[in-house]
Structure 1
Amino acid sequence: MNGLLHRAKGDKVIWTIVFFLSVVSLLAVYSSTGSLAYRLRNGHTEYYLIKQLTVLGLGLLIIYFAHRVNYTVYSRIAQIGFIISIPLLCYTLAFGRNLNSAARWINLPVINLTFQTSDIAKLALFMYVSRQLSRKQGVIEDFRKGFLPIIVPVGLICIMIMPANMSTALLLGASCMLLCFIGRVPVKYLAAMIGCMVGIVLLLFVFASLTGNKMRTATWVSRIESFSSGDDKDMPYQVQQANIAIAEGGVLGKGPGNSNQRNFLPHPYSDFIYAIIIEEYGIFGAFLILIAYMLLLLRSIRIFKKCPFAFGAFLALGLSFTLVIQALANMAVNVHLFPVTGVTLPMVSMGGSSVIFTSLAIGIILSVSRNVEETELKRIEKERIERVLEQQREAGLNIAV
């Protein structure tokens, strides 16, 4: 274990954030699943805690091994991952497991593992877009040669995710647009793409209403209407219970394990875990969680600025964008600043595949950070050797004189 810790490289602040969020996850999951485990697991209240501990342990191992890989390897596998994600999304739409009227999951029969294919698609897409942005910088202002090879994959993946998971598709598209803006894609092209995406969403609603197709449009409309009405009577049940949890939390909270709303709030261990954290740890605890994600973004921006190669810079920034934007969306839903979505809080909410792919994303960010550190150390060592040689030459000249 000491050997692993000694060999762990990369941004130490990001490592600290990972461990902090992991501890928060264990505390919040244990508190929010105690009564659920007691009912479903014959009184074994630690069942979900042990399960989450196992998943987080696996996630930390994934982060470690992913950060030991040179990030240039991810450029080579970006195309493969993108190509694989397309048939996986198609299969999910056709034969995926339905939960809350949404086909988002597929089962692996041999190991009996259920995962969201959108998690694979998001990771593959950001690697692919980062690769394309780095390769197309010379022709980035050319619509056909620079813009289309970047934006077509983004639109394709978002459209395939949209029928089952509108919120994930919109957040993914927003993250990619932001990364493209930083990658010097002309604003007029991005504005046109945003207009096209809005048109596609409207066409999706029209198609569903005309054909009677059982898509999730009714759910989307009801969520938007309940959020925009401003009437407490129209507020969804889970939002009402989340508001009660936040109100009871106050400044310092009720203390670890003392949540009352975990017994009433739907999905207190995943979508609404942030409300449970506020109830138990107060506004102070909520602020610490927000600061952790903001620090992750700031440290990734620092990596972006220092990385000497475009692919690594775009990769680190793009992956941090998707994690932080997802976290902000989850927190906004919990405090009723955003319509209800199905996104979880990265590295905190209980989960299997979501934790695994989040860990892989963080590992890739740390891989870029490790490379930046090693490049910086080599530069410093080279400058030191040059200074020593210069001093030796000056000393030799003085002796000769």
Structure 2
Amino acid sequence: MSNLTFARTDTSILGRWWWTVDRWLLATVFLLVIVGMILLMAAGPAAADRIHADPFMFVRKQFFTMPFALALMLGVSMLSPLAVRKVGLIGFAITLLLLVVAPALGSEIKGSTRWLYIGGVSIQPSEFAKPCFAVVSGWVFSARHTSPGFPGYRIAVVLWLTLVGLLIIQPDLGQSMLVTAMWAAQFFLAGLHLFWVALLVAITLCGAVGAYFILPHVQKRVDSFLNPEGADTYQIQKAMQAFRDGGLFGRGPGEGTVKAALPDSHTDFIFAVAGEEFGMLVCLLVVGLFAFLVIRGMSRVMEENNLFVIIATGGLLVQFGTQAMVNMASSLHLMPTKGMTLPFISYGGSSIMGLGLGMGFILALTRKRWSSAIGETS
């Protein structure tokens, strides 16, 4: 059917895109979106009922936002690596400005000022800053190798400290740790010396310890994880009950009961809804989709000889995979809760749009070069 749609010699924008984009990555993203919509239809009404809203409020908003996120992803995926760098740089500059003004002009929700209202729309700048930072830092790291004398490492450190500092001010320790993990992976891909590895590990440990003693909500989450008997672990207990009740095959679509008592069932703990209603087998399928996407992306980019493409894509994939792992591990009580969404599955407008931008970057950077694509046999 695809051969009837686009011939390999089709030089139109869509034709070139179709034969160069990784359709396995594209299909995996759409599968995650479908899974997310099904799970949100299961968890959304219960979450809306708790705040006395229209039962399908969250579902309707997600269905409205998702086409824009997918359109953004597909549009960005058609860019060249040079255009990706430009978009990433412009996006990073804009989101840095928004992060600067967020503490003063933003809305406080659960003790953090992470959201800005622009034109009546709530925006979380950090969700867009993450993929843009991955592209910009990949550019800076690669320039260090392609342009002798360019202070790429120093600039990368300054950019990282600036972004992490603005995130901690909000405060948003989860996002700052996610950005740090991504940036560290890029530093490694750029040829990080063992001395800097040790220094980075030491700084990260000191930052984690400092956050524990300085930020009360971080201390509360860590204490709840280490000593659940003496802390408020209501959501974790409910999530674990959901997994136990679901068993291997689940209780069936719409038959879950724990979601009615789980405040963040449509966001941070949507994986628990999957466990109760669809069982462990579907949970393993979701894990497999995330793992396949990261592994496929890594294997694809390792065929590249463009250092910017390797470092930027590697960082984006680490960011995507780590976010998914943290969300699922938190739901399973394998680590302290972080308040992080499950990519393309959890409810959240800024999260979905930011993920669409990041996945668009990945698809654009992992596209085959046109000359090699038309040289392949059908």
| TM-score, length-scaled by structure 1 | 0.84
Letter in 1 for 2:244: A
Are residue 57 (structure 1) and residue 63 (structure 2) matched?
Answer: no
Q: Which one of the candidate residues 325, 341, 356 is aligned to 1:328? A: 325
Matches within 5 A, 1:357-372: 357-370=354-367, 372=368
Aligned-partner Cα distance in 2 for 1:130–1:293: 22
Q: Could you give the per-residue CA deviations for residues 293-325 of structure 1, whole angstroms, max 9, x where no partner exists? A: 111111111222122312122222211110110
Inter-partner Cα distance in structure 1 for 2:225 and 2:151: 42
The unaligned stretches of length 5 or more in structure 2 are: 7-12
Are residues 1:133 and 2:141 paired? yes
Taking a change above 3 Å as real, the CA distance of residues 307 and 250 of structure 1, as seen in their structure-2 partners, is same
1:178 corresponds to 2:178? no
State which drifts further: 326-335 or 20-29.
20-29
Question: Larger radius of gyration, structure 1 or 2?
Answer: 1
Q: Match for residue 374 of structure 1?
A: 370
Q: Structure 1 regions of 5+ residues with no counterpart? A: 209-216, 382-401
Contact 1:33 1:269 in 2 (8 A): yes
Aligned length: 364
**What corresponds to 1:15 in structure 2?**
26
Contact 2:268 2:340 in 1 (8 A): yes
TM-aligned CA deviation for residue 77 of structure 1:
3.6
What is the CA–CA distance in structure 2 between the aligned matches of 1:48 and 1:138, rounded to whole Å?
47
Deviations 1:234-283 (A, max 9, x none): 35110010011011010011111111111001110000000001111111
Question: Does 1:91 pair with 2:101?
Answer: yes
Residues in 2 aligned to 1:36 and 1:224: alpha-carbon distance in whole angstroms: 26
User: Which residue of structure 1 lines up, in the alignment, with residue 313 of structure 2?
Assistant: 316
Q: Displacement of 1:373 after TM fit?
A: 4.9
CA–CA separation in structure 2 for the residues paired with 1:333 and 1:75: 33
Report the CA distance between 1:139 and its aligned residue.
7.7
Q: Distance in 2 between matches of 1:166 and 1:52?
A: 26
CA RMSD, Structure 1 to Structure 2 (Å)? 2.5
Q: Counterpart of 1:151?
A: 157
**1:106 maps to which residue?**
116
- Name which of 280, 302, 305 aligns with 1:305: 302
Deviation at residue 166 of structure 1 after TM alignment: 0.5
- The equivalent residue for 1:265 is 262
How far has the Cα of 1:59 moved from its partner?
Answer: 1.5
* Structure 1, 5-14 or 267-276: larger mean CA deviation: 5-14
Give the share of equivalent positions with the same residue, in percent. 23
- 1:228 equivalent in structure 2: 226
Q: Deviations over 1:122-145 (max 9, x none)?
A: 1221011110121112589x9x93
Given the superposition, is the C-alpha separation of residues 335 and 200 from structure 1 closer, same or farther in structure 2, using an over 3 Å criterion? closer
Aligned to 2:10: none
Q: Residue 351 of structure 1 corresponds to which residue in structure 2?
A: 348
Quick one: which of 275, 278, 281 aligns to 2:278? 281
Residue 151 of structure 1: how far off its partner (Å): 2.0
Matched, 1:254 2:251: yes
